Amino acid sequence: MGIQGLLPLLKSIMLPIHIKELEGSFVAVDTYSWLHKGALSCSTQLCKGSPTSRHIEYCMHRVNLLRHYGVKPILVFDGGLLPMKIEQENKRARCQLCSPILCILCLRFTEILVVFQIFLSTIASLGVTRKENLARALDHESNGNSTAAYECYQKAVDISPSIALQLIQENVSYVVAPYEADAQMTFLAISKQVDAVITEDSDLIPFGCHRIIFKMDKYGQGVEFQRSRLQQNKDISFAGFTNEMLLEMCIFSGCDYLQSLPGMGLKRAHALITKFKSYDKVIKHLRYSIVSIPPLYEESFKKAILTFRHQRVYDPITEDIVHLSDMPGNLGNDLDFLGPYPSNRICIARGDLDPFTQMAFQLQGETVSSVPVLNVTPKFKNSKPESGKKKLDLPVQKNLLTKYFCFASLEAKRNFRAPRSSPTSPSLVDCTSLSPQDNGSEEASSSNTSSSSASLVVSTDDRNTPHSNNVESCFPDGVHKFMESPSPGKD
């Protein structure tokens, strides 16, 4: 949803850019928007469950377009639902790689019932909408109205976890966020792990991302937002605006975490913040002047600020869940609205395709044909210790699937590490122990051409050869090669 009307207001400082200007840079990509656009080209097949890879090819075309121009993409996926957004998500379905059940598991018992009811109603409402569109599509089709049928198929298509998984199984660097991709991409940007973010979502601006490419087309042309240009904006003036003021203005105008007060849009929010400088003074002013403000509004506002600033994200370098920015010490204990810390959870770093496939399919209600036995390693530093590596059989694993929470591909981590010349991380070795037969070192496993390390092999190519000579030559082989590679469960 983002901040409605923000991008048009910033039109004067949105400058055209071609991604070749980012040569040599890492960029984080909001993968959901690509998947959604790509799925439009084959929505009929996706709805019917017919085999198709056009949506994946669409994404890979863009991945390879970036690579062609020497840009290194890191695909970022949404993870679990942020408790704060469950109600919002009730209204729209985004690609969730991790089950909303995750959230339920994270919450205290008193909250479980409520959340679960919302979750069930979400599923119910989504089911109805898709079913309706699907039914309409079939209806139109039987009447010979293929155009109308196609439109309905496009509305019925959903970016399921298994679709996202298909993309992960390509030769791409990726990070699955513990919660929101927006926060994750911002973290990668402000920690200098990427140089820019490619997205369609204006939320990246209040999140504090410094360089964002919007509306990137298939030729690599887009428009660029740079925070440093904010002072030059023409439509409304941001002279003297701090990051906090910009954020508070966006929250006042209505955002994913807090609905705006009636009649409050961007322009009014801007005027109020310009005059009063901070949200608490604005709210005080509003209380004295006009409307009655809901009793919990100020409290919710504070939470919204904290969610933008400190939402939990995954740091591929430390392999831990961290806050987007450092937390002040005086915030109390109940910070689960920032995304519960995955205590006692397991993060796996690679060899992750099998359990992830399981999870994705499980969410889709599909039957899992082969169930590999896996070693898993506790990953999060602050997690309650689990007794080292465990072998899991099916029933146990079934429960643990909800714990495969967030992870990055190994090559993404390497990329992130490279510029920092950090010392060797012992945990990096740990995370290679996931394939049962794979007890070698990281380097040994990276030369392994099994399906689970497919992404590694090609990504290594990508690093060694800067980019191929033309766009066309660099994707079809890759796509088909990996589409035809052995199934992840095989090993």
Kindly tell me which residue out of 16, 50, 51, 92 binds DNA, with binding defined by CB under 7 A. Answer: 92
- Per CB under 7 A, does 45 bind DNA? no
- Per CB under 7 A, does 419 bind DNA? no
Kindly tell me which residue out of 136, 210, 268, 284 binds DNA, with binding defined by CB under 7 A. Answer: 268
Kindly tell me which residue out of 45, 52, 145, 154 binds DNA, with binding defined by CB under 7 A. Answer: 154
- Per CB under 7 A, does 263 bind DNA? yes
CA 4 vs. chain centroid, Å, equals: 20
CB of 235 to DNA, least distance (A): 9
- Per CB under 7 A, does 218 bind DNA? yes
CB of 239 to DNA, least distance (A): 17
CB of 82 to DNA, least distance (A): 15
Stretch that binds DNA, among 30-38, 65-73, 274-282, 395-403 (CB under 7 A): 30-38
- Per CB under 7 A, does 93 bind DNA? yes
- Per CB under 7 A, does 1 bind DNA? yes
Size of the site for DNA (CB under 7 A): 34
Crossing angle (nearest 10°) for helices 410-417 and 454-464: 30
Stretch that binds DNA, among 182-190, 200-208, 319-327, 407-415 (CB under 7 A): 200-208
Site map 170..189 versus DNA, x via CB under 7 A: --------------------
Stretch that binds DNA, among 18-26, 31-39, 392-400, 481-489 (CB under 7 A): 31-39
- Per CB under 7 A, does 83 bind DNA? no
Stretch that binds DNA, among 90-98, 328-336, 349-357, 450-458 (CB under 7 A): 90-98
For β-strands 15-18 and 211-214, DSSP reports them as unpaired
- Residues linked to residue 74 through DSSP beta bridges, in sequence order: 28, 173
- Comparison of 8 and 127: residue with beta carbon closer to DNA: 8
Nearest to 433 by CA among 418, 449, 452, 412: 452
- Comparison of 191 and 260: residue with beta carbon closer to DNA: 260
> Alpha carbon of 196 to those of 73, 181, 190, 199: distances in Å?
10, 14, 9, 10
CB of 439 to DNA, least distance (A): 43
Stretch that binds DNA, among 91-99, 165-173, 286-294, 359-367 (CB under 7 A): 91-99
- Per CB under 7 A, does 36 bind DNA? yes
- Residues linked to residue 28 through DSSP beta bridges, in sequence order: 74, 197
CB of 355 to DNA, least distance (A): 27
- Per CB under 7 A, does 440 bind DNA? no
- Per CB under 7 A, does 18 bind DNA? no
Phi/psi class of residue 339: alpha, beta or left (left: φ > 0; alpha: ψ in -120 to 50)? left
- Per CB under 7 A, does 227 bind DNA? no
CB of 277 to DNA, least distance (A): 18
- Comparison of 37 and 284: residue with beta carbon closer to DNA: 37
Kindly tell me which residue out of 217, 299, 393, 461 binds DNA, with binding defined by CB under 7 A. Answer: 217
- Per CB under 7 A, does 23 bind DNA? no
- Per CB under 7 A, does 355 bind DNA? no
Whole-angstrom distance, CA of residue 201 vs CA of residue 182:
8
- Comparison of 92 and 108: residue with beta carbon closer to DNA: 92
- Per CB under 7 A, does 38 bind DNA? yes
Q: For residues 404 and 347, is the Cβ–Cβ distance under 8 A?
A: yes
- Comparison of 7 and 479: residue with beta carbon closer to DNA: 7
Whole-angstrom distance, CA of residue 229 vs CA of residue 210:
10
| Residues engaged in binding DNA (CB under 7 A) | 1-2, 4-5, 7-8, 36-38, 40-41, 54, 58, 92-94, 154-155, 200-202, 217-218, 253-254, 260, 262-269
